Amino acid sequence: MQRKVKSIVGLTVVNVFFILLCFVTLVPILYALSVSLNANNSLLSVDFSFIPKAFTLANYKAVFVDEPIMLWLKNSFVLAVSTLLISLGTGIPAAYVFSRKTFPGRKPILRTLILLYAFPSLLSMTALYKLLSPMGLINTKLGLIIVYTGTEAVFALWNMKGYFDTIPYEIEEAAMIDGASPTQIVWRIVMPLAKPTIAVTAMMVLIYVWNEYIFAVNFMTGSDTYTLAAGLYSLQATEMSGNWPIFAAASIVVSIPILIVFFALQRNMTTGLTSGGVKG
Amino acid sequence: MKESKRQQILRCYAWAAPSLLLILMIVIFPILYTGYISLTNMNVYHWTNYTFIGLKNYADALLVFDNGFLKALGMTVVWTIVSMVLQLVVAFVLASLLNIKGLKLKNLYKTLLIFPWAMPGYVSILLWKTGMFNSQFGLLNQWMAKIGHGPVRWLNGDMSAFWCCTLVNLWLALPFMITIIDGALQSIDRSFYESAVLDGANWLERTFYITVPMIKPIIGPSVVITVFTTFKQFDVVYLLTQQVGAKTGADIHTIMTYAYENAFITNNYGYSSAVSIIIFVMLILFSVVINMKPKEVRD
């Protein structure tokens, strides 16, 4: 009996602890949400509360009307889809070949790829700028697509190769004996089995382009060519200037699609990534 | 169906060619070109009429302490160690607490605690910067005012900026670590604990002789990857303290923000490229040391 009481007390303490911890963890997000919805933001007042006394959607309206967010969204969308098509279109056949076939040069190439995977593309920014600028590709979508595709091509190849490795080869052998051609095997047999990894890889590419800001702010010079991330970066309130409630509203708007994707794919995310990722 | 060996090899390369050519042109060539720039004095005054200066940039980075690279490297090492220790300890404690028997709301807590992972990273960092740390309307200073304390400039001093960056990084990284450790804890067979309890082992002994050794191999790869991402961390330090035109005054640099600063703020391209190549070589050496190779290449 005494043990039971002890364990109930213990559980209560742990529960209280986690409720507090969850709240503390979410404070930055809740604060932004609350500021973005608050009608009378007396920013310097001390009697701030998380639940606004007067609600307003004015900040959200301002985000969509006063700021070129729809244009940024369109730019991000064009970049994301192009990057996705190129990196998956080239990545799937390559990942398949590296997973299934043995050929001279395979291992050295895989070794090189793993090193490239560790290389942050930020470090070759100067070189990329210097190479793209004589071609007139700075401040163009094509320039950014090239940069993003490079980074994501390595990731896509690696991630999908890792997943292909887990699909039993016997299925393909059976199809081969039945007389299916290599192209048929990939389209009819491997692709349907590889759906989870293709979905996760595609999502990761989209999220990367959605979130990439540093190349976008350096390679794009005008606010009409900005991506969503670059646009949000330019909106941020500094110590003295900027509009914090509008920035908070824009942050929430930009985050919602990513949150939805993340929680929808959370289960796949772990398997689709861990099975493909780098293993020590 | 029979085709010669040669044809097979050719077909493999034909399938892989688009991806490999892309990587060759957009990833490998710029890295080689970075190596080339690192041997020149290219900067904002010598954008096209640069000259070769040999290894001078490398000597400047590695031998002259005042140039700041070695300081940034030291800071990066400290940053990585502090972040990793905090992450592992806190995540282990939290994951263990989550696995206490009878915790009914476990899944709710996990979902809420995972939020920082789900948010776009740069958005969270900017929200921390403006929402929490801002000296005018940041929440922290509103709380400080409530307890009768004047506004604190959280991101201005080196030391406080470092801890603010560490805190934000911890906030960003914990969900992943908790998820990994939680998964590892659940994979341990309960019977180990039952027999240990029968043998009279206390909680501390059970943790150090059963839990830690059992989860080590499971979480190992994820920890290694996290060490890499922490070492390469750019966003947290850059967005919180080093933004162009909005520097907070704290002089803290990781090697990544240092390379960026020299490239795009002081426009010393040759020097920055040398720093980039040094970082790349360090990353390669790390990979070799910890043998981070694809499973099959290793054997």
* pLDDT at res. B78: 94
Kindly tell me if the per-residue pLDDT of A276 is higher than 60.
no
* pLDDT at res. A267: 66
Kindly tell me if the per-residue pLDDT of A234 is higher than 90.
no
* pLDDT at res. B3: 64
pLDDT in tens, B4-17: 788 888 888 888 99
User: C-alpha distances in angstroms, B214 versus A70, B99, B218, B220?
Assistant: 51, 15, 8, 11
ipTM over 0.85 threshold: no
**What mean pLDDT do residues A98-110 have?**
87
pLDDT in tens, B45-89: 777 777 788 888 898 888 887 788 899 999 999 999 999 999 999
Nearest CA in chain A to B245: A238
> Which of B4, B15, B235 has the most A C-beta neighbours within 10 Å, making it the best mutation to test the interface with A?
B15
**What mean pLDDT do residues A32-40 have?**
80
| pLDDT confidence bin for B31, thresholds 50/70/90 | very high
> Which of A36, A107, A124 has the most B C-beta neighbours within 10 Å, making it the best mutation to test the interface with B?
A124
Residue boundaries of the structural domains of chain A: 2-56, 62-274
How many residues in total does chain A contain? 280
Mean pLDDT for all residues in chain A: 82
User: C-alpha distances in angstroms, B1 versus A78, A122, A180, A273, B12?
Assistant: 42, 46, 9, 35, 15
**Residue predicted with more confidence, A38 or B115:** B115
8 Å CB contact between A76 and A52: no
A244–B130 C-beta distance less than 8 A: yes
Q: What is residue B52's three-state secondary structure? A: strand
**What mean pLDDT do residues A139-143 have?**
89
* Token reading at A155: 């990731």
| pLDDT confidence bin for A42, thresholds 50/70/90 | low
Tokens 């070799």 found at: B288
Closest CA to A164 of A136, A131, A197, A123: A197
| pLDDT confidence bin for B277, thresholds 50/70/90 | very high
Distance CA B263, CA B39 (A): 15
| A254 φ/ψ sector (left φ>0, alpha ψ -120 to 50, else beta) | alpha
A240–B15 C-beta distance less than 8 A: no
Least confidently predicted of A5-14, A51-60, A177-186: A51-60
Distance CA A10, CA A7 (A): 5
Closest CA to B106 of A21, A2, A3: A21
Closest CA to A258 of B121, B179, B172, B109: B121
Superfamily covering domain A62-274 = MetI-like (1.10.3720.10)
Domain B69-252 has CATH 1.20.1270.360: no
Does B293 contact A at CB distance below 8 Å?
Answer: yes
Least confidently predicted of A42-46, A76-80, A218-222: A42-46
**Residue predicted with more confidence, A91 or B140:** A91
Does B24 contact A at CB distance below 8 Å?
Answer: no
Chain B residues inside the 8 Å CB shell of A218: 264
Closest CA to B58 of B34, B39, B82: B39
**What mean pLDDT do residues B247-267 have?**
84
pLDDT in tens, B208-236: 888 888 888 888 878 888 888 899 889 89
Give me the residue from A89, A218, A239 closest to B135, CB to CB.
Answer: A239
Give me the residue from A32, A122, A242 closest to B260, CB to CB.
Answer: A122
8 Å CB contact between A233 and A250: no
Chain B residues inside the 8 Å CB shell of A115: 283-284, 287
* pLDDT at res. B195: 82
**What mean pLDDT do residues A225-233 have?**
87
